[in-house]
Amino acid sequence: MSEHYFTVTWDQLHRDAKALAWRLHALGPWTGIVAITRGGLIPAAIIARELECRLVETVCIVTYDDESRGEPQVTKPPVAAGDGEGWLIIDDLVDTGTTAKVVRKLLPKAHLATVYAKAAGKPVVDTFITEVSQDTWILFPWDTEPQFVAPLARKG
């Protein structure tokens, strides 16, 4: 279990993904976007809209089971992207860089961008928006739902 948790709302994710799009716009034009599933799907959709990019591919890699990390398994390669030249790879987060390294081998000429980055994964990405401490688990809006939480003063 992580020591710290950071909850990202839908609004915050949208703002951060749009900020990433602003940075990426200046580096384009782009042939297409490869979304790393599942976390990269929503940021990739926002970025594709902002960059008016109509060609969106996916790469499916299984790395996590809840908070437990395993060996990455590519369950669907990004065939349409070739070697990645002219393509953007989008993910929600780079943590240790394990998934990013796998995708880099598949698409060595692509530009890899994430919305959030932890220190261990930062060297693997080309562009990111927000740095998060390594000991923080990000709770994305698709993994949570609003509920009552007791005030901090009541938690002893």
* Structural domain for 31, as ranges: 4-137
Q: Choosing from 16, 83, 91, 143, which is the catalytic residue?
A: 91
Q: Is the pLDDT of residue 9 over 70?
A: yes
Answer yes or no: is 70 within a domain: yes
Answer yes or no: is 143 within a domain: no
Say how far apart CA 110 and CA 119 lie, in whole Å.
21
Question: Can you tell me the mean pLDDT for 100-105?
Answer: 96
Q: Choosing from 92, 126, 135, 143, which is the catalytic residue?
A: 92
Give every CB contact of residue 92 below 8 A, 6+ residues apart in sequence: 13, 39, 40, 42, 43, 114, 115, 116, 138, 140
Q: Choosing from 16, 65, 83, 95, which is the catalytic residue?
A: 95
Answer yes or no: is 107 within a domain: yes
Whether 66 is catalytic: no
Say how far apart CA 115 and CA 78 lie, in whole Å.
20
Classify 156 as helix, strand or coil.
Answer: coil
Q: How confident is the prediction for the chain on average, in pLDDT?
A: 93
Answer yes or no: is 62 within a domain: yes
> What is the per-residue pLDDT across 136-145, written as a single tens digit (0 to 9) for each?
999 999 988 8
Answer yes or no: is 149 within a domain: no
Say how far apart CA 156 and CA 74 lie, in whole Å.
45
55: domain CATH number is 3.40.50.2020
Answer yes or no: is 21 within a domain: yes
Question: Can you tell me the mean pLDDT for 127-140?
Answer: 95
Count of the separate structural domains present in the chain: 1
Q: Is the pLDDT of residue 14 over 60?
A: yes
Q: What is the pLDDT of residue 66?
A: 60
Model-level pTM?
Answer: 0.88
Say how far apart CA 131 and CA 134 lie, in whole Å.
9
Answer yes or no: is 105 within a domain: yes
Q: Is the pLDDT of residue 69 over 70?
A: no
Whether 11 is catalytic: no
Answer yes or no: is 49 within a domain: yes
Q: What is the pLDDT of residue 141?
A: 93
